[in-house]
Structure 1
Amino acid sequence: MVNFRKRAFWFLDSIKGSPIKNNIRDILSLFDLSFEQLQEKNKTPINRLLKAAVNNTVFYGDYKDFKSLEDFPVVDKHIIKQNFDRIATPESISGKRVSVSTSGSTGTPFKVYQSKEKKDRNTADTIFFASKAGFSIGDRLLYLRLWAAYYKKPAFLAWIQNVNQLDVEEINDTFLDGFFKNILKDKQRKGWLAYPSAFLKVCNFLDKNNYAPLDCNIQSIIAMSEPLDSYVREKMEYYFNCPVVSRYSNVENGIMAQQMPGKEEFTLNWASYHIELLAMDSDEPVAVGEPGRIVVTDLFNIATPMIRYDTGDVAIMRIGDKGYPEFSVVQGRITDLLTNTSNEIVNPFIIYNNLYRYPELEQVQLVQRSNKEYVFKINCGEGFVRENEFVLFFKQYLGKDAEISIEYVSGIPLLKSGKRKIIVNQTQDDKIKSKPLSP
């Protein structure tokens, strides 16, 4: 059945003129180049995008005399929503387009149009990066997320694509007990795709029930949408004997970066995007090694030109092989950045990577309420006798003068997206220095 699905996919692509196969060939050829050579190649799609935007949209009509990409303004979700009809390219120019929507992490709806060319490129990007993690077309995909109505696939399509749509809101011990009994009997190749917080739920179940490593033919494990901590990575690799990678993507654009097996840094998708890191308080580029706002230009979506689009996330860049810039860390939403009492950014992984020290805690969320005030919301069934030790441990990162309190709760609620925030910063208006602390 796996071979049938794979052959059927490529047969259908071939009778359409092989748009997916041709895009994959293009991606492979671009990543074969040095970064300097790739940048030279990418001048063509960048200029095509910019010319289409200035000639066919009201919003970008005033930029016809542009000299470079940097002449264009940085935009975000709010600006695009407020000017959507002025930014979207008429269908007579972009060709047939589809609407792509997301509720966002906080439930704020956001919509863009994507051209057929963009949809084909996204499919090719997905196949390319999934293959780097060990996933092949036709493998069974164990897809664990919040399945809102507009994401959920019809049952027949899910069967054709071999996707198990597992809803994070329905995952409990009873479900997982039956689920693992079934997949242990199913010997076909499989891959996991899920939020790290959902993987943690899986690992806690396996720990609690004293499972040994599982022989269920898992060939790929990809974490998405949330930071992947070392504890979840190590546990998933232990139970499924497969490398775990983290992916950076969003609904409106697609896959912008992904870790490769065995590596911490994120390979950026320079084949499909131009990526900048800009300062927190200006549109100037930051130096290598400094945190900055992730700003992307989507090279293939003419329907809704996303030129210098501020994703709302923060990362740190380094230079990798063949001169390719890559992310050494993706720190998450700007509104979720954690600062110490000296107003310096704290690497969030000091929280993610150290919670394993306290296995008695079921759920934890750190809320920063002011420059010095921090509240840990803790859900633990039988009391937390190591509270003082816990507070002292995190003071070494947050500051000796940090005012840390503990609030016991019955649970940390999910966002409307199905994700669960571990860090919440309520001091968004405070100025943040750009120098991060080492974990």
Structure 2
Amino acid sequence: MIVTCLRCPSSLGQTPDGVWSGAPANVALTILPAFYQTTWFRFLCVAALLAFLWGLHQLRVQQLRRQEGKLREAIETIPAMVLILGPDGGVQFRNRRWVEYTGLSQLGNAEGFEKTAIHPEDLDRTLRRWGACFASGEPYEDEMRVRRTDGEYRWFLARAVPLRDKRRKVVKWYCAATDIQDRKLAEELQAELAHTNRVSTLGELAASISHELKQPISAAVTSSQASLRWLNRDRPDLDEARRATAESVKDGVRAAHIIDRLGSLFKKTPPQRESVDADEIIGEMVLLLRGEANRYAVSIRMDLAADLPKIMADRVQLQQVLMNLMLNGIEAMKETGGVLTVKTGPGEGGQVLISVSDTGVGLPDGRADEIFNAFFTTKPQGTGMGLAISRSIVESHGGRLWATSYDGQGATFHCTLPTAVA
């Protein structure tokens, strides 16, 4: 403005002393920085930023506390006993359900729990398996009986998995124990029912089984008598006597095998999974049921695949399933006779497939799945439990049992079972 006034007289202004006449005048100028360049504004900005960051921090803390509260609430209320162990095995946390059930404190030594709460019959097995998993860092799973505060023992399924850091070092163990008492009771009832079914079925087969036993025993007696005759001659023929004695021994062993098979089916023992050969068990059941099949003019044919992997199953339960399926096939051909075919081969998902086919009248129309219901039967004297028990046994092994049928062309029962882990 000053420069403009000097260059343009018409733009002359006034001073505090009056109208500017062009004479020199003193002008005082004050130059101030913009507000955003001031110290107080910068300080205010820093304070606002810190307050904002503090607010975000407090908000995050509240969120984490809420999440922690929800997680703790979930851990405290889930229907399982939860335990957290340190890398040295020391207890870092037990949830409320654990404390209420066992009566132990939230912190303490895991060894104290094992010795005071686990059933004495399960203690050695539990310590051995847990020790092996703890040393190797592998996940742990086992069933055991745990004592309640009132002294009652209940079955629990215990699982534990390790938490590892970036260097794969175990820093914690997360453990959970789920009450499986009801499942155990159901398994015991199922085993009792299966045993009753086996005994009832074998009772119905008494005549056929006695015939199967009579045949090798009679043959053994005949061979023994022949051996005596060869020995009682004026000049004993030792070669013929040995041959007759060997035949007698072979027939006796055959009878013993039949008795062993009967004994295993009659015996009441808890299920025990093991690696078994499906073809071998099929051969045993064919030997046992051949007399019943011959009684109704039914021939049994086996079509067994070679080099099949072994399956993981309870031998007696698998025998019961095959016996039920084969007897159903024989029953379907009772009036007409026919052929019962037992076949093995590879199944879906790497499992072993067992099929039992008959040439009878087939299944009721549209009721191929209904026949597996409890108490459903088409036999006048049937209980309707054989197929229901068979399906429950197969499914408990991780397999599947189903039936197919074609009008007037018989029925086929298919059973898949998982192979044994190598």
For the aligned pair, the TM-score class normalised by the smaller chain equals under 0.3
The structure richer in helix per residue is: 2
Q: Relative contact order, CA 8 A, sep 6+: which one is greater?
A: 1
TM-score by length of 2: 0.23
If you compute each CA radius of gyration, which structure gives the higher value, 1 or 2?
2
TM-score by length of 1: 0.23
